[in-house]
Amino acid sequence: MIPVRVLIVGAGLIAYGCVYSALKEGNKVFVADHNTEFGLPNVWPSLLHNRDNIPLNFATEQGFEGKDTGFRHEWIMKSMNIQLAKQGVILLNKARIVSTVKSESGFSVHLKGASQMEGEHMFDMVIDTTKDTWVPWAKQHNLTDVSIRYDVERKPATGFLHIDTEVENFSDAQLHLERYDGLIESWYSEQKESSNSKILEIMSTYLPVDQNMWSCEQRFLNGMNLWNKLMETDI
C-alpha cells in the first residue's frame, strides 16, 4: 500500500489504536482534537484488564500509570502521546474541524484553533472517532465527509470516587475498581445521585452500553479494528 496522509479526529483510545495500526503501515498520521492537552483527567473508569493487550509501552519510572487493574487513564494517554510522537504521529491539540469536503483528490479539511496547522489542508483519509471522546460542553467538530466513523451506543453513567471503607455503601454498582492511590471507583451504568459525605469526586459521563468497552485495552483494540475495517472497505 502506498503511504497516505491520514487525519484522525478525537484524541481517545479508539483513535490511538487506529493511529498505531496506520503508522505500522508507513502512513503519515495526524490526530486533531479541541483539548488543550491530550491526556487530561477525564471521566472514564480507570480500568485495564491486561496491559499486554496494548502494544505500546506506557510505563513510567515513577509508576504514575497505576497498578493491577486500577490504572490512571490520563497517564496511559500521556505516555501513548510520547510513544506515538516518537513514531512520527503529528498531534494537533487545540484544533477544531470546521468542514471536511471529499473530492477526487482526497479530503479538503478546514482546521481552526491554535494548533500548528490552520486553514485548508488535504488528507487522503479522515477518520471520525469523536463518539469515543464526546463531551456535551465542547463545541463539536463539523465532520461532513469522512472515510469511516466509529460508532457506539452510549448512555448516561456515573462514577463515585471514595475511600475503601465505603464500598458496602455502593454494593449495587456495576464496577468497583481499586485505584493506584488506594481509593475506590464505583461505577453505575445510569445517572445516579448519592448523599454520602465520604465521596471525593462524582464523575457524570456517557459510557458504552456494552460494559466490555469500559476497559482501556478494549477501546484500543477496537481502534485497531476500525483501521482494519477501513482497509478492507478500500480493498
**What is the span of the domain harbouring residue 167?**
154-209
Q: What is the band of 64 on the pLDDT scale with cuts at 50, 70, 90?
A: low
Whether 112 and 148 share a structural domain: yes
**Which pTM value belongs to this model?**
0.90
Residues 6+ apart with CB under 8 A from 183: 161, 162, 163, 164, 200
pLDDT for res 137: 65
pLDDT, tens only, 128-170? 999 887 766 667 899 999 999 999 998 999 999 999 999 999 9
Whether 198 and 135 share a structural domain: no
pLDDT for res 45: 87
Whether 226 and 186 share a structural domain: no
> Terminal CA-to-CA distance of the chain, rounded, Å?
10
Average pLDDT over residues 26-52: 83
pLDDT, tens only, 102-117? 999 999 999 998 888 8
Residue type, 207: L
